[in-house]
């Protein structure tokens, strides 16, 4: 197991380097350091000298990837790519183009993202599993048929509609919760009720149908027939045997998502004014703040790799047939 984990970590290094290079190239294909300077300096009275000063101050007056004019290793180190991207491997995210410490901002903003994402995941999981089990329990009946239709309808509705509709109905008409906003500590609960509810409802359609498929696969197996033949009730069969075996793919599907919960949901955070990492990233893209963009892409890649590793490890725990070597 340890060897496997170490090997996976080593594989991650060239992967992350590739992600870094790709992010860098894609960003600077669209934006030049001149463009970034003008974005930061504003629209009025921006002269060429001011742009030059800004670039020099922020280290963007170097070549992008290769410095022909330098000698030896400085051909590589005296470049924008090296100066801006290497620190990431030490998780030194540096400072944004507007002068804020990125690490401090990430530490502050990840908790609001998590405060929506985690309850949404847990509650959503419970609801989806319950609805899926109910559909399997009443399979081949009108109840199942109408549930499937309802799930398809729920899947077809845009998440934006859920958000705006939810804010309108529950926040504006019924006045049960604040329409948007956030607070720290337990005071945040009243702000999270609506976004969590909307996340759960918006995810029922796809989630319930997916879990229904997993449960149906199990329900057709011989051991289930044997359990029924032994006289177990349908609920006992479903909850004691089917659910346990179907949990393997469910669990691994959830584990891979766990690290990414920190990254947040852009639309949800924008409409509910949640100061999370989703809105942090998109704001940085709009402002052409390369420092934040590369930090968030790197962080997302690390979390994704970590999530996949966790998935493999958790799989080996829940399925005794799987051994990591």
Partner 1 sequence: MHNFFLAIFILFLASCDVSQLNNPYSETEEDLSILYSSFSERPKHLDPAIAYSSNEYGFIAQIYEPPFQYHYLKRPYQLVPLTATEMPRVEFYNQQDEILSGVFDDQQITYTKYTITIKQGINYQPHPAFSSENLRLSLAQVEAINDLTDLPQQTRELLAADYVYQIKRLAHPKIHSPIAEIMKHYIVGFDAFSKQAKTLDKTAVKSLDMAGVEVLNRYQYSILIKGKYPQFRFWLAMPFFAAMPWEADAFYAQQGLKQKNITLDWFPVGTGPYYLSENNPNRRMVLTKNPNFHEEFYPDEGDTDDEKNGLLKDAGKRLPFIDKVVYMLEKETIPYWNKFLQGYYDASGISSDSFDQAVQFIGDGDAKLTDAMAAKGIQLQTAVTTSIFYMGFNMLDGVVGGDSEKARKLRQAISIALDYEEYIAIFQNGRGVPAQGLLPPGIYGFEDKQAGMNSVVYDWVNGQYQRKSIEQADRLMTEAGYQHGVDPATGESLVLYFDTTSVSVDDRPRMNWYRKQFEKIGIKLVIRPTDYNRFQEKMRNGNGQLFIWGWNADYPDPENFFFLLYGANGKVKHGGENAVNYHNAEFDLLFEQMRNMDDSEQRQQIIQKMQNIVRKDAPWVFGFHPKSFSLFHGWYQNLKPNLMANNRLKYTRIDAASRAEKRALWNHPVFWPLILALCLFILLLFPAVKAFKRRAKEIVQ
If we measure between CA atoms, which residue out of 88, 118, 97 comes closest to residue 296?
88
Measured from the CB of residue 259, what is the shortest distance to partner 1 in angstroms? 21
Q: Which is nearer to partner 1, 93 or 304 (CB)?
A: 93
**3-state DSSP call for residue 95?**
strand
Alpha helices in 138-236 (DSSP H): 142-156, 159-166, 189-219, 222-229, 234-236
Q: Which two tokens stand for residue 219?
A: 């329900």
Q: Which is nearer to partner 1, 269 or 312 (CB)?
A: 269
Measured from the CB of residue 192, what is the shortest distance to partner 1 in angstroms? 13
Binding residues for partner 1, rule: CB under 8 A, are 30-32, 34-35, 38-42, 44-50, 53-54, 57, 95, 98-101, 103-105, 108-109, 112, 137-138, 141, 143, 164, 167-168, 171-183, 187, 190-191, 228-229, 233-234, 270-273, 275, 279-280, 283, 287
Measured from the CB of residue 310, what is the shortest distance to partner 1 in angstroms? 28
Measured from the CB of residue 128, what is the shortest distance to partner 1 in angstroms? 18
Residue 129 backbone dihedrals phi, psi, to 5 degrees: -65, -45
Beta strands in the chain (DSSP E): none
Q: Which is nearer to partner 1, 172 or 240 (CB)?
A: 172
Measured from the CB of residue 184, what is the shortest distance to partner 1 in angstroms? 9
Measured from the CB of residue 286, what is the shortest distance to partner 1 in angstroms? 9
Q: Which is nearer to partner 1, 212 or 301 (CB)?
A: 212
101 forms bridges with which residues in the sheet? 95
**3-state DSSP call for residue 101?**
strand
Q: Which is nearer to partner 1, 80 or 238 (CB)?
A: 238
Judge contact between 257 and 251, C-beta under 8 A: no
If we measure between CA atoms, which residue out of 158, 159, 138, 155 comes closest to residue 212?
138
Q: Which is nearer to partner 1, 98 or 158 (CB)?
A: 98
Tell me how far apart the alpha carbons of residues 208 and 216 are, in angstroms, rounded to a whole number: 12
Residues 6+ apart with CB under 8 A from 276: 109, 110, 112, 113, 116, 264, 265, 269
């Amino acid at each position: 197991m340890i060897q496997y984990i170490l090997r996976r970590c080593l594989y991650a290094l060239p992967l992350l380097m590739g992600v870094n290079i790709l992010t860098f190239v894609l960003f600077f294909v669209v934006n030049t350091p001149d463009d970034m300077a003008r974005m930061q300096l504003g629209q009025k009275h921006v002269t060429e000298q001011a742009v030059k000063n800004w670039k020099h101050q922020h280290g963007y007056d170097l070549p992008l990837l290769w410095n022909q004019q330098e000698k030896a290793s400085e051909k590589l180190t005296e470049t924008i790519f090296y100066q801006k991207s290497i620190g990431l491997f030490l998780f030194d995210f540096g400072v944004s183009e507007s002068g804020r410490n990125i690490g401090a901002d990430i530490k502050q903003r990840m908790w609001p993202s998590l405060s929506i994402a985690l309850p949404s995941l847990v509650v959503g999981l419970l609801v989806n599993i319950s609805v899926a089990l109910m559909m399997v329990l009443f399979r081949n009946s009108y109840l199942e048929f109408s549930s499937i239709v309802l799930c398809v309808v729920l899947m077809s509705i845009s998440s934006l509609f859920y958000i705006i509709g939810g804010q309108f109905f529950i926040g504006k008409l019924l006045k049960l919760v604040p329409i948007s906003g956030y607070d720290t500590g337990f005071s945040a609960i009243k702000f999270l009720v609506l976004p969590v509810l909307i996340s759960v409802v918006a995810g029922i359609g796809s989630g319930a149908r997916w879990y229904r498929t997993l449960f149906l696969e199990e329900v057709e197996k011989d051991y289930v027939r044997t359990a029924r033949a032994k006289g177990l009730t349908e609920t006992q069969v479903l909850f004691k045997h089917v659910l346990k075996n179907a949990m393997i793919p469910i669990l691994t599907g959830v584990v891979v998502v766990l690290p990414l919960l920190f990254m947040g949901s852009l639309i949800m955070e924008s409409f509910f004014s949640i100061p999370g990492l989703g809105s942090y990233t998109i704001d940085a893209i709009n402002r052409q703040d390369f420092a934040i963009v590369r930090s968030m892409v790197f962080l997302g890649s690390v979390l994704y790799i970590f999530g996949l590793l966790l998935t493999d490890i958790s799989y080996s725990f829940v399925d005794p047939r799987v051994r990591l070597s």
